[in-house]
Amino acid sequence: MSAGAIEPAIARAPETIVVKKKPVELISESFVASACQRLKEGKPVRRKVPPWGRLHIDRPLPFLVVYRRPADREDEGTERLAVGEACYLLASGERSAREGLSRLVAGIAEVMSASFGAFLVIEMWSAPEAEAEAAGASWKPGFRIVRPKRGRMTSTVDALDRALSEVKIKGTFAGVEVSSAVRVRPPGLQQLIPSDLAAALNVRVIGIEIEPAFRDEETGTSYPLVRRALHNGIARALKRAVFEFTRRQTSHRPPHYQALGRHSVVKAVWEVDRKLAEVSNGFDFLLQVTPTNPDSAWSEFRRKRFDAAPDFSSRPLRFEPSLSKRKLFQIPIEKIEDPTLYQLFLDQQVELDRKLTLLHDRGTPQFLYGSLQLYGGVDESLLNLAYEILNRVPPRSRDESPRGAIDAKAFAASAEKEIEHYRALYPKVRSRVEVRKDFSGLMVSRGNLLVGAQLKVPRSRVEALIAHEVGTHVVTYINGRAQPFRQLYVGLPGYDELQEGIAVLSEFLVGGFSRPRLRLLAARVLAVHRMVEGANFVEVFRELDRAHDFAQRTAFTVAMRVFRGGGLTKDAVYLRGLVDLLAYLREGGKLDPLLVGKLGAEHVPIVEELQWRNVLTAPPLKPRYLDDPAAIDRLEEIRRGVSVLNLVKGGRR
């Protein structure tokens, strides 16, 4: 070929180059048929939807939440607001995917409507940026509910309206608008199911347009924490709306709106749970901050005439906190779709981080600040109650006579007998009792009861302490181990306050809550307050000894517990937890959900939700004292309204 022949070909080359866009893979008829067949058989469906989406149907239910990604604009983060539901579909909004998507939704609707009598499709989309800016959506959550002009949807829309109005971001409640349309669909897209087909299948469609307050207006970048808060609120609202729909228009009768959540738990959740438990089980926080030489420290303090704080010894750390933190933050919590479980595990990750920081700061001034983050301090009402107890309850009492006190070995035998009782009811009990020389007092660590070798217990207090340590701490550990999530026995964030509140309440229920015990709880609150204010060890000891007439060894022990590690505010949780628990029971709260494992008061609704969803099972054990009619009578007395001071004889309302 001559040069002249080549030149025209080169010159024409740019004009003949055509860049072809890769066609979107269609949802095939066989894909639809296979998914529908599984639903007919009552099986779950979890499949990728071409080209990037996902279909997740936990079990046959009369609803489907749908999100279609726009083909003409970026829409970062919106699809995350749909995932986590028991039944959801993420799909492309491309024109070429339209036919297959419509066929899929119609097929699912046909199967489910045949089973339940009706079917609800809730489609979600974000408002286009121009509309969002005009509405002033920045930071303020907002929703527009689009309902069909025809159809009986009033009660469902009203339930959705009320629930979305409760969504809150940064203290601002959402604005909700309701409008009607002939065709319910996102801007620029066609209806998922033609109106005549929807009517024939008895399918109802509702749209939710979301103001994109969860992302930056200029860059379109998502704000993860804002989006998560929005996700939690939307998920709750969707379940309430579906619950209303199912009750009014279907044959399905869920016992509670939370029962419409997921039952199945995916692999990512189990993996996160396992790895968090590995980090948590790598150390025992309280044991690591508790002095190992209380007796010699007391002797030293007394020898110095109580004028100088003794030296306390601590157990050396057998791990590097920074390496544990590295392992902690490599756990991929962000992979969890379920908003409830995500928040639970995220809170646990944050608390473990704080505990590791505290162990790193042990013996330094920074320890106190971390302790305040973890356990809080003492507010005015709690402090006033502590002073009221100390002023009204006499310091001298025969409630805990030292005569006939039993030693550590005898107490350990009683505790072991109690554990054997629970083992007979539930053979998987592995808890044991250990008498330890490097420890004082009582502590439950990983389900085992540790007893200080020098312990002396008044006989009048034995049953109460058994109920506290075994009936509460050991039993909730065992119940937690029986659950699918390890966090229920490891301990959810902030569990100490509720646990100690229940444990102290159990002392009252068995008739062993004494005046000295109540004064001791008040002393701990006072000691924490004074320590946070800046008082030193000697000053706290003297105030308890001289101003409030505590025995010197008792005042020493209280001060030691509060100043351990560098300033531990945990001891305020006993009285605070008891006060909050009394209020909870007085307002009609149930005791049973609190015994599922080791959880905080803020996690009670989450535990109840997971029970409705059949994710958590009924606990295998309940405390023995709840079989005692006298204890039940005392519990009913609490429900009628009893002040903390009235829990003991000699106190006043």
Verify that 298 and 253 share a domain, yes or no. no
More confident residue, 219 or 561: 561
- Does the residue 15 lie in any domain? no
Both tokens of 391, joined, read 């002023």
- The 10s digit of each residue's pLDDT in 116-156 is 999 999 999 999 865 555 554 456 899 999 999 877 789 99
| pLDDT category of residue 439 using cuts at 50, 70 and 90 | confident
| Residue 558, pLDDT above cutoff 50 | yes
pLDDT one-digit tens code per residue, 229-241: 999 999 999 999 9
At 219 the pLDDT is: 86
- Residue-range definition of the domain harbouring residue 617: 284-318+361-647
The per-residue pLDDT for 400 is: 62
Query: In the chain, what is the greatest distance between 2 CA atoms, to the nearest angstrom?
Result: 120
Give 578-613 pLDDT, tens digit per residue.
999 999 999 999 999 999 999 999 999 999 999 999
Do 374 and 248 share a structural domain?
no
Among 376, 652, 378, 308, CA closest to 526: 378
The whole-chain average pLDDT of the chain stands at: 91
**Is pLDDT of 1 > 60?**
no
Rounded Cα distance, 82 and 126, in Å? 11
- DSSP class of residue 22 equals P
Within a domain: 439: yes
The residues that bridge with 445 in the sheet, in sequence order, are: 448
Same domain, yes or no: 199 and 311: no
In a domain, 276, yes or no: no
pLDDT mean over 391-398: 83
Q: Are 415 and 463 in contact (CB under 8 A)?
A: no
Evaluate if residue 13 carries a pLDDT over 80. Answer: no
pLDDT at 404: 75
Contact 626, 502 (CB under 8 A): no
* Sequence-ordered strand ranges (E) for 153-220: 168-169, 172-173, 175-181, 203-210
Write the DSSP string, 371-388: HHHHH----HHHHHHHHH
Q: Are residues 491 and 554 in the same domain?
A: yes
Q: Is 2 contained in some domain?
A: no
How many domains does one find in the chain?
2
Task: Indicate if 208 and 308 belong to the same structural domain.
Answer: no
Q: Are 185 and 234 part of one and the same domain?
A: yes
In a domain, 162, yes or no: yes
Task: Judge whether residue 350 has pLDDT over 70.
Answer: yes
My answer on whether 255 and 309 are in the same domain is: no
Q: Using the Cα atoms of residue 297, residue 299, residue 301 and residue 303 in order, give the sign of their dihedral.
A: negative
326 occurs within a structural domain: no
Q: Are residues 629 and 503 in the same domain?
A: yes
Q: For residues 644 and 339, what is the distance between their CA atoms, to the nearest angstrom?
A: 37
d(CA 160, CA 490): 37
Q: How far is CA 88 from CA 61, 68, 358, in A?
A: 11, 11, 42
In angstroms, the CA 452 to CA 465 distance is 14
Both 400 and 494 in one domain: the answer is yes
Tell me, yes or no, whether 384 lies in a domain: yes
In this prediction, residues 268-292 reach a mean pLDDT of 94
CATH code where residue 183 lies = 3.40.630
Any residues with CB less than 8 A from the CB of 238 and at least 6 apart, and which?
65, 85, 122, 160
Shared domain for 486 and 557, answered yes or no, is yes
Q: Do residue 533 and residue 620 come from a single domain? A: yes
218, 295: one domain? no
Q: Answer whether residue 6 shows pLDDT above 60.
A: no
In the chain the first and final C-alpha atoms are separated, in Å, by 111
Within a domain: 334: no
